Amino acid sequence: MKTPLIDNLQYAKFSPRIFEQMRNGGVDAVHVTIAYHENFREMVLNLEQWNRWFEMHPDLIFKGTTAACVRDAQKTGRTAIFFGFQNPSPIEDDIGLVEICHQLGIRFMQLTYNNQSLLATGCYEDYDAGLTRMGRQVVTEMNRVGIVVDMSHSGERSTKDAIAHSTRPIAITHANPAWWHNALRNKSDAVLTALTESGGMLGFSVYPHHLAAGPACTLASFCQMIEKASRRYGARNLGIGTDLCQDQPDSIVEWMRVGRWSKVIDYGEGTASDSGFPEMPDWFSDNRDFGNIRLGLEGTSLSADDIDGIMGGNWLRFYESSFGPQK
């Protein structure tokens, strides 16, 4: 069977139109964000919405829980949807909810979303204290049940702590190297070296704040960055995590960045004059554009096997070893 196409992070305003675009783009699996600052009950409401979509559009999408679901998606011409959190808020202060969330189908959880959490420090804090006592125990529990530790929005020390403490490889599902574009959300060479040497995965983001030159970033620049990262870290540990926020209203940025913790708007990666979603680069606007990335990579020195891995094969291998109970 051919290598799958996997996007390991999207937070689009999902709809039947986007599900159709997934199919038109040949996307076999997508990791979707179902919680930012939601508590457990609010997260369950989001699961209810997805259950309705699965019921209404069984010819397009279905719930993914294991790596085998990706192969099932390929066989049936559908897209497997895997769930993840961009914040640990749904587990509240209850470590027992980690296993419950796995039972509900959650397969990824960030330990922080920009801010300090009960578990670790976010990348926008002035001081990074690393994993907390609860954070170390939650990582151990995530390892046990099969939820991937995601450090995409975490600080440097916290990310290194998570890599060191986790007994299973972790992921940075959507970020780029800081040596290409020095954004707070992008990751240092030291972090990416530790991540990939431990078997962890990096998903390259096309979100403009993470791109060199922002919306003006060229496909050639993006693919040359992937080529350089492959030479530096090994193509086997690299994939795509677009961070596609298609069709989301600008108002959702406030929820993502502010949640309930502040009375004032945190502009985060934007500015007061640019507080909504940035314009996407012209070579990637929705799920039908993954072919552009593949064509761009084919213009580099990467081998066909390397490209297949980056476009989805590496994530599939990672799924195979990450989603079940620890052996």
- Give per-residue pLDDT as tens, 179-191: 999 999 999 999 9
List, in sequence order, every residue forming a beta bridge with 239; answer none if it has no partner. 203
Residue 227 pLDDT greater than 50, yes or no: yes
In a domain, 303, yes or no: yes
Residue 193 pLDDT greater than 80, yes or no: yes
pLDDT at residue number 266: 66
pLDDT at residue number 206: 98
Helix/strand/coil for 153: coil
CATH code, domain with 297: 3.20.20.140
In a domain, 62, yes or no: yes
- Note the Cα 299 to chain centre separation in Å: 26
Under 8 Å between Cβ of 289 and 283: yes
Residue 324 to residue 327: CA distance in whole angstroms: 9
* Structure tokens, 80: 């497997």
Which one has a higher pLDDT value, 255 or 309?
309
pLDDT at residue number 257: 74
Tell me the chain's radius of gyration from C-alpha atoms.
18
pLDDT at residue number 248: 85
pTM score above 0.85: yes
pLDDT at residue number 268: 59
Outline where 152-267 has alpha helix (H): 156-165, 189-197, 219-233, 251-258
pLDDT at residue number 272: 45
The mean-pLDDT minimum among 44-53, 102-111, 246-255, 272-281 falls in 272-281
Beta strands (DSSP E) in the chain are 6-10, 29-35, 61-63, 79-85, 106-110, 148-150, 171-172, 201-204, 238-240
Under 8 Å between Cβ of 128 and 156: yes
Helix/strand/coil for 110: strand
In a domain, 150, yes or no: no
Residue 302 to residue 40: CA distance in whole angstroms: 43
Under 8 Å between Cβ of 120 and 130: yes
Angle between helices 156-165 and 189-197 (to 10 degrees): 10
Under 8 Å between Cβ of 119 and 94: no
Instruction: State which residues form the domain around 267.
Output: 6-87+170-322
In a domain, 108, yes or no: no
Residue 322 to residue 316: CA distance in whole angstroms: 10
Q: How far from 153 is each of 178, 185, 269, CA to CA, in Å?
A: 13, 6, 12
pLDDT in tens, 262-314: 888 766 555 444 567 889 999 999 999 999 999 999 999 999 999 999 999 99
In a domain, 249, yes or no: yes
In a domain, 106, yes or no: no
In a domain, 226, yes or no: yes
* Domains of the chain: total: 1
